[in-house]
């Protein structure tokens, strides 16, 4: 204590020696009404006066050497220590007052006001010295009330500020459920006029839960809290507003209790989540749409698909995966893949799965899985939550590749020496696996440019559009040919399927040949044909003109011959009559030939259009025209019902008449038996006229349709040799064919084909 005395420089104690002064100081210390103490640098008591002893109830010996925390709370000790550390440089002039609670020996707590000063010697901290004064209970209570009132005012102001600035609606209800306060945000959300704030009754509003059911007053969040004393959190309710709008709110309710533990008030908050609900509903709709789309996509996916989480547990297995894995989805969900399929452990599949999970990079692989005796192609896609694996059984594809390699080996030598053309092999992806042939010398493409490349990537769009149908047809098991121009040359390409021993297509082959010279020959041939057709047309015109112009002089010759026969018949001898008969017969035959030639030339020039006609009606007309001949010969004619066809009725009637006339004329000694049949099975109906006549020798059957060609002399049978040629010309005009089958002595059958009528409902029912 003498450190402070030194600082007074001989003031209060100057007239006394040291011992007297020290005794006086002790007397003074014990005489004052305040407690006085001294602490060493560690905070232990080194001196206390009698007031401290009386105040605390401890003996002096009990206090000395004890740390100050013996009578102070730890928080108070820390507070004082921080103040001391902040003022160590104040040369001991720290004069600060602390309100502290001091523990007494009987366990009571007294409130004290403590002043302290820091003891420094040559800048070194030597401890503290201070005074302690007990504060009266009244003063303490008053101060506490003042502090509490000030705190309440601060809290009330803060509450008002929070209420008015809060982005959520807030209201306070009393224990009777009456609203005592609400903020502007709540009034705005619920469309409540400010004048109605204190008369507003929440139970008067229509409120609905998330199922759309209206809730009763007892189920309002504030009512539940009043009833149970428990808070309600995040209750989503829809409120009908006076304007007719609807608003979704997230409601919270919490109770406030009085000192007796009874509910005094309930505070409720409401947050407008209408936009959130709209987005939520939109998201739900979109999720349903996406789920439906995803289900549809999964339904279209032909791959097996499984999903694993980061614990390697199954989270999804599609139907195709169920088939391949021979396990239902509900059996696999939640199971670890290594437990469900231990045979995957230590395989390339496991290694690549773990690689994808670790690196978060997609991986692909094709490998053989011995337990299934199959090859699988797999694509693994990682995500933050696990991996998705798309896989397919490519055993057949691998087998096709193997077969394709063998086929390539067999065909390569053939292809390399294929003359005047190109040979290629391609797989079912239309990727070339072989290309060779001497024809590559004629195009600006090297065989190496084709092999291991897809055909569509090699050729131009125009060239590929011509080739693609043939390629795809080959893979589908069909042969197809296509002609195209390329590199200033003309080519014909034949595409054929390549099959295995079971007949399954596993590849395709094309053979392309340079037909430039052949096409040039064909063009020249077409030019020749065109010239011949023009020449033939001129000849037909000449024949028509000649036959038409010859008719008049022939009529004149015939007329004068008959006039000579009538006037000079009695004067002619036997030779003259014979000569005159020869002349008349020659004129008649000439007239018959000219009429036939004229009819032959008119087939194309003076014919009607082809239209649906009834062959039965046409046959009836032809039979009527031949009725006298039929009756005289005693012919027996049977017939089928004939179809409707596209044709010229007049010309088809001529065909029937000519063929029936021949059947009657060449019937031999027996009465003619004639059968008219129709075969409707083919694309074109075939009409056949069968007789029991003398027949036609095989050597003559090829020339009977030649104009003016006769197989019999005029003495044996009449005719100009034009009838069958006319039939052939008419059938040709109708787009059909005519032919003959005959055995000498057993009869003849003439047949011709003709197009059906497009507008037929179907052939008429049998009559």
Helix axes 615-625, 649-665, angle to 10 degrees: 50
pLDDT at 77 over 60: yes
Which percentage of the chain shows pLDDT scores above 90?
30
207-208: strand order across its sheet: 179-182, 169-174, 263-272, 246-257, 232-240, 207-208
**Cα–Cα distance, 4 to 618 (Å, whole number):** 156
Nearest Cα to 495, choosing from 485, 512, 480, 513?
A: 480
Based on the fold, state whether residues 557 and 685 are members of the same structural domain: no
**Cα–Cα distance, 367 to 390 (Å, whole number):** 14
Residue at 19 is within a domain: no
**pLDDT tens by residue, 333-376:** 999 999 999 999 999 999 999 999 999 999 999 998 888 888 89
Residue at 13 is within a domain: no
Average pLDDT, the chain: 81
**Cα–Cα distance, 26 to 348 (Å, whole number):** 95
Give the rounded distance of the alpha carbon of 274 from its chain centre. Answer: 35
Give the rounded distance of the alpha carbon of 730 from its chain centre. Answer: 59
CATH number for position 227 = 3.30.450.20
For residue 367, the enclosing domain spans 301-393
Q: 455, 487, 514 — which closes off a domain? A: 514
pLDDT at 628 over 70: yes
Residue at 571 is within a domain: yes
Q: What angle do CA 452, 454, 460 make, to 5 degrees?
A: 125
Residues 6+ apart with CB under 8 A from 12: none
Which DSSP category does 756 fall into? B
Based on the fold, state whether residues 704 and 646 are members of the same structural domain: yes
**Which pTM was predicted?**
0.32
CATH number for position 660 = 3.30.565.10
**pLDDT tens by residue, 637-680:** 999 999 999 988 888 988 898 899 888 988 878 899 999 999 98
Q: 487, 514, 541 — which closes off a domain? A: 514
**Cα–Cα distance, 218 to 220 (Å, whole number):** 6
**Cα–Cα distance, 552 to 319 (Å, whole number):** 92
Residue matched to tokens 């420094």: 120
**Cα–Cα distance, 639 to 628 (Å, whole number):** 19
**pLDDT tens by residue, 188-218:** 888 888 777 666 777 778 899 988 899 988 8
Based on the fold, state whether residues 404 and 388 are members of the same structural domain: no
Is residue 59 within 8 A of residue 22, CB to CB? The reply is: no
Residue at 765 is within a domain: no
Based on the fold, state whether residues 386 and 404 are members of the same structural domain: no
**pLDDT tens by residue, 246-270:** 899 999 999 999 888 899 899 999 8
Residue at 15 is within a domain: no
Based on the fold, state whether residues 115 and 178 are members of the same structural domain: no
What string of H, E and C letters represents the secondary structure of 56-84? HCCCHHHHCCCEHHHCECHHHHHHHHHHH
Q: Quick one: average pLDDT of 571-584?
A: 70
Q: 514, 546, 575 — which closes off a domain? A: 514
Per-residue model confidence (pLDDT) at position 548: 54
Based on the fold, state whether residues 613 and 745 are members of the same structural domain: yes
**Cα–Cα distance, 58 to 200 (Å, whole number):** 64
Per-residue model confidence (pLDDT) at position 766: 38
Per-residue model confidence (pLDDT) at position 288: 79
Residue at 230 is within a domain: yes
Based on the fold, state whether residues 630 and 671 are members of the same structural domain: yes
Count of alpha carbons within 13 Å of 708, Cβ hemisphere only? 8
Based on the fold, state whether residues 322 and 386 are members of the same structural domain: yes
Based on the fold, state whether residues 114 and 171 are members of the same structural domain: no
For the chain, what is the total number of helices (H) and then of strands (E)? 23, 28
Residue at 640 is within a domain: yes
Which stretch of DSSP H or E encloses residue 426?
A: strand 421-426
Based on the fold, state whether residues 245 and 180 are members of the same structural domain: yes
pLDDT at 187 over 80: yes
Based on the fold, state whether residues 410 and 360 are members of the same structural domain: no
**Cα–Cα distance, 702 to 442 (Å, whole number):** 46
Q: How many domains does the chain have?
A: 6
Residue at 305 is within a domain: yes
Per-residue model confidence (pLDDT) at position 13: 43
Per-residue model confidence (pLDDT) at position 606: 57
Cα distances (Å, whole numbers) of residue 411 to 405, 433, 434, 440, 509: 10, 11, 9, 16, 10
Based on the fold, state whether residues 371 and 413 are members of the same structural domain: no
């Amino acid at each position: 204590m003498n450190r402070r005395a030194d600082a007074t420089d001989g003031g209060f104690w100057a007239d006394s020696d040291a011992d007297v002064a020290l005794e006086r100081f002790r007397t003074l210390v014990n005489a004052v009404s305040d407690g006085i103490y001294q602490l060493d640098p560690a905070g232990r008591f080194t001196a206390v006066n009698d007031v401290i002893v009386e105040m605390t109830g401890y003996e002096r010996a009990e206090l000395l050497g004890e740390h100050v925390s013996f009578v102070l709370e730890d928080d108070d000790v820390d507070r004082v220590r921080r103040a001391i550390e902040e003022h160590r440089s104040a040369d001991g002039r720290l004069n600060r007052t602390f309100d502290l609670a001091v523990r007494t020996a009987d366990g009571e707590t007294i409130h004290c006001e403590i002043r302290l000063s820091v003891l420094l010697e040559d800048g070194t901290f030597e401890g503290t010295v201070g005074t302690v004064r007990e504060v009266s209970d009244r003063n303490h209570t008053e101060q506490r009330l003042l502090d509490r009132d000030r705190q309440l005012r601060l809290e009330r102001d803060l509450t008002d500020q929070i209420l008015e600035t809060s982005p959520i609606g807030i209201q306070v209800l009393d224990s009777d459920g009456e609203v005592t306060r609400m903020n502007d945000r709540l009034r705005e959300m619920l469309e409540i006029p400010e004048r109605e704030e204190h008369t507003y009754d929440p139970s008067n509003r229509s409120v609905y839960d998330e199922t759309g059911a209206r809730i009763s007053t007892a189920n309002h969040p504030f009512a539940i809290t009043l009833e149970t004393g428990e808070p309600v959190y995040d209750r989503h309710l829809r409120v009908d507003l006076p304007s007719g709008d609807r608003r979704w709110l997230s409601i919270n309710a919490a109770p406030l209790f009085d000192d007796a533990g009874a509910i005094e008030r309930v505070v409720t908050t409401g947050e407008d989540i209408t936009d959130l609900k709209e987005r939520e509903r939109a998201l739900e709709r979109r999720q349903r749409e996406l789920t439906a789309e995803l289900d549809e996509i999964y339904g279209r996916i032909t791959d097996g698909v499984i999903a694993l989480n980061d614990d390697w547990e199954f989270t999804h297995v599609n139907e195709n995966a169920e088939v391949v894995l021979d396990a239902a989805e509900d059996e696999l969900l939640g199971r670890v893949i290594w437990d469900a399929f231990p045979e995957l452990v230590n395989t390339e599949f496991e290694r690549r799965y773990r690689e994808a999970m670790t690196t978060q990079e997609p991986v692909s692989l094709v490998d053989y899985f011995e337990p299934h005796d199959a090859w699988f192609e797999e694509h693994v896609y990682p995500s933050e939550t696990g991996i998705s694996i798309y896989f397919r059984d490519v055993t057949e594809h691998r087998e096709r590749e193997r077969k394709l390699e063998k086929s390539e080996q067999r065909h390569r030598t053939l292809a390399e020496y294929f003359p005047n053309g190109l040979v290629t092999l391609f797989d079912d992806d239309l990727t070339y696996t072989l290309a060779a042939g001497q024809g590559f010398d004629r195009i600006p493409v090297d065989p190496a440019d084709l092999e291991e490349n897809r055909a569509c990537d090699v050729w131009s769009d125009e060239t590929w559009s011509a080739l693609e149908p043939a390629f795809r047809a080959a893979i589908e098991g069909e042969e197809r040919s296509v002609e195209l121009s390329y590199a200033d040359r003309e080519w014909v390409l034949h595409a054929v399927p390549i099959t295995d021993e079971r007949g399954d297509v596993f590849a395709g082959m094309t053979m392309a040949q340079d037909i430039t010279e052949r096409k040039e020959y064909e063009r020249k041939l077409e030019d020749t044909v065109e010239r011949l057709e023009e020449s033939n047309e001129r000849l037909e015109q000449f024949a028509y003109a000649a036959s038409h112009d010859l008719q008049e002089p022939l009529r004149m010759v015939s007329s004068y011959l008959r006039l000579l026969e009538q006037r000079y018949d009695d004067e002619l001898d036997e030779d003259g009559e014979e000569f005159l008969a020869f002349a008349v017969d020659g004129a008649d035959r000439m007239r018959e030939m000219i009429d036939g030639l004229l009819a032959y030339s008119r087939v194309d020039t003076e014919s009607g259009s082809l239209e649906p006609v009834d062959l039965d009606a046409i046959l009836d007309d032809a039979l009527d025209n031949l009725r006298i001949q039929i009756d005289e010969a005693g012919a027996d004619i049977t017939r089928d019902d004939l179809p409707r066809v596209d044709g010229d009725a007049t010309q088809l009637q001529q065909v029937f008449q000519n063929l029936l006339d021949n059947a009657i004329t060449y019937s031999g000694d027996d009465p003619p038996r004639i059968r008219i049949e129709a075969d409707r099975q083919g694309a074109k109906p075939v009409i056949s006229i069968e007789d029991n006549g003398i027949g036609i020798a095989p050597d003559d059957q090829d020339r009977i349709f030649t104009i003016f060609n006769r197989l019999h002399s005029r003495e044996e049978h009449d005719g100009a040799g034009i009838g069958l040629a006319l039939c052939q010309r008419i059938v040709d005009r109708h787009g059909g064919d005519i032919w003959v089958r005959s055995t000498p002595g057993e009869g003849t059958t003439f047949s011709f084909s003709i197009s059906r009528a497009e507008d037929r409902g179907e052939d008429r029912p049998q009559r």
